[in-house]
Amino acid sequence: MALLRGLTLLNRVSPNKCFIPARLFGNGTSSLYQSNPPQARFFPPSEGVMLLPGTYKNKVAFITGGGTGLGKAMTTTLSSLGAECVIASRSLEVLKKTADEISQQTGNKVHAVQCNVRDPASVEAAVNQLVNDVGLPDVVINNAAGNFISPSEKLSPNAWRTITDIVLNGTAYVTLDIGKRLIKAEKGAAFLAITTIYAESGSGFVVPSAAAKAGVEKLCTYVLCYTTDTFLGAAFLAITTIYAESGSGFVVPSAAAKAGVEKLCTTEDQPF
């Protein structure tokens, strides 16, 4: 990184002596910037799906928060690639409407299952229905989330609990319930959680979300690093980044919670 920054600076000072295009890689919430990379005219960006048709044929995908937004978009793509999708959220009416819409668009069945990820009993019932309808999943996407904008000093205990219950606890409940069943059945699966860049960098006015998503990332690290013998895999998607850092396999709740505490301690209510 230091070398890259040095070459970038040299390019600005002596453009005739250095022909490396300008690149500025920011940290945290700063965006990635590239100025006219030379390959752009030869390799224009592709906005289509990079996977081949039928990639997920005979596969089952379970998506929380699948009725709207990003969850709906991911479900549409997976269904178009052949997956039999099961979407879950609190509003069964919204889920059924989305399921019918995607099924008509892709020609593949999409199932709707009501689930409140904040409630372990609701998660268990939803997974029971999932297994009864289509079997254990091959792909699990923990997409359900909640957030709101507020200065930290104005947060109430209920506000904090609401966000962490959905984002962190909800992800844990779904991952633990399905994961245990997969291990028992000796079946592999891929887990994906949706996080955000400020889970690493911190950001103003979204402290509960930043802390909860930092915990989610530690949970994914555990699944990735300490369940390899059970054929479970995990990743978390933070805007444009997929990565994992080390965690401890025997203190998962503590590691996830302490990751959130660290983010609480490092986040300031300063606009970016």
Fill in the DSSP letter of residue 48: S
Distance from C-alpha of 21 to C-alpha of 36, rounded to nearest angstrom: 7
Q: What is the CA radius of gyration of the chain?
A: 21
Q: Which segments of the chain does DSSP mark as H helices, in order? A: 2-13, 69-80, 92-106, 120-134, 157-164, 170-185, 198-201, 207-226, 252-266
Does residue 102 contact residue 72 with C-beta atoms inside 8 Å?
yes
Could you tell me the strand order of the sheet in which 60-64 lies?
110-114, 84-89, 60-64, 139-142, 189-195, 232-238, 241-242
Q: Which of 198, 222, 226, 243 is catalytic?
A: 198
Joined tokens for residue 112: 């709707």
**Hey, CA dihedral for 204, 152, 266, 175, is it positive or negative?**
negative
- Count H helices, E strands: the chain? 9, 9
The Cβ-side half-sphere exposure at 256, using a 13 Å CA radius, reads 21
Known catalytic membership, residue 198: yes
Angle at CA 178, nearest 5°, toward 81 and 210?
85
Dig out the tokens for 63 from the structure.
């998506």
DSSP class of residue 108? S
Positions marked active-site = 198
